[in-house]
Amino acid sequence: MMSSFKGFSQETLQFFSALEANNNKTWFNAHKPDFENFIMQPAREFVVAMGERLREIMPGVVADPRINKSIFRIYRDTRFSNDKTPYKTNLGLWFWVGEGHKFENPGYYFHLDAENLMLAVGLHTFSKALLKAYREAVVDEPLGTALRKAVQSVAEKGYNLGEITYKRTPRGYDSDHPNAAFLLHSGLTSGVNLGLPEQLYTPALIDFSFEHFRNQTPIVKWLQTTPLLQKDYFTAEYAESAEIFKAD
């Protein structure tokens, strides 16, 4: 199927740069046509085209070109934040694998702002029940070994694991365990910051992004297929405002 995605534009980046300097309702409302033309329209086209590619390696991936589905809302949740600016200054796209709420599943994340493109995979924040299951999987011999292999495969291709959350090994786990470093995470992600690659402005961004996603797919597959991490351990603790990749 021929994709309608033609690339993002300089106007895309200019919109986010201007929004950073004018993060208020008056400015945003005056520039809503730009938001639609330079952000939303290419974003919808990208979601459709990337979904087709990702299904080559993940047949069940969800790519839904609607706001609050694969396209993150532009509006920030400021209820619990000291920063009351109303709008995000980036585009966030999420392609998830699995049933149920999208934030309870691993997947692929596209993040674009005025200065950088980030491509990441995984599951940013585990629910309480899933965190317990993840830790048990980490110290399980076959499952933990499979995790080390997945992380090594991704690291050898230049991708970094997400930042650690905890300073100490959780209580009840051996700090000398070969996988102890993984116990310091409250989610499991990898990603790469790419600046503003030349492919950003062309249809080639689909293949470019797909290759980075495919290189990191061992993380997604481990999360998706590890028995201890299946739905029996999930709790519905996420609201739409939960930012899995801190898209603010």
Q: What's the 3-state SS for 77-106?
A: CCCCCCCCCCECCEEEEEEEECCCCHHHCC
User: CA dist 25 to 28, 72, 112, 187, Å?
Assistant: 5, 18, 21, 34
In this structure, what token pair is assigned to residue 177? 């365990």
Distance (Å, whole) CA 230 – CA 221: 12
pLDDT > 70? residue 237: no
Q: Half-sphere exposure of residue 40, counting CA atoms within 13 Å on the CB side?
A: 12
Q: pLDDT digits over 88-101, tens only?
A: 999 999 999 988 78
Segment among 164-168, 216-220, 238-242 with least mean pLDDT? 238-242
pLDDT band at 103 (very low <50, low <70, confident <90, very high): confident
Segment among 24-28, 189-193, 243-247 with least mean pLDDT? 243-247
Q: What share of the chain is helix, strand, coil (3-state, %, to 5)?
A: 45, 15, 45
Mean pLDDT of 13-31: 98
pLDDT value for 19: 98
pTM for this model (two decimals) = 0.90
Distance (Å, whole) CA 190 – CA 65: 24
Q: Which domains does the chain have, with CATH numbers?
A: 10-233 (3.30.930.20)
pLDDT > 60? residue 226: yes
List the beta bridge partners of residue 96.
62, 107
Distance (Å, whole) CA 81 – CA 246: 13
CB atoms within 10 A of CB 175: 10
Quote the mean pLDDT of the chain: 91
Asked if residue 63 lies in contact with residue 29, where contact means CB atoms within 8 angstroms, the answer is: no
CB atoms within 10 A of CB 182: 20
pLDDT band at 218 (very low <50, low <70, confident <90, very high): very high
Q: pLDDT digits over 195-210, tens only?
A: 999 999 999 999 999 9
Distance (Å, whole) CA 222 – CA 232: 17
Distance (Å, whole) CA 226 – CA 229: 6
pLDDT value for 244: 40
Residue in the structure block whose two tokens are 């109303």:
86
Q: Half-sphere exposure of residue 224, counting CA atoms within 13 Å on the CB side?
A: 20
pLDDT band at 1 (very low <50, low <70, confident <90, very high): low
pLDDT value for 167: 95
Asked if residue 44 lies in contact with residue 6, where contact means CB atoms within 8 angstroms, the answer is: no
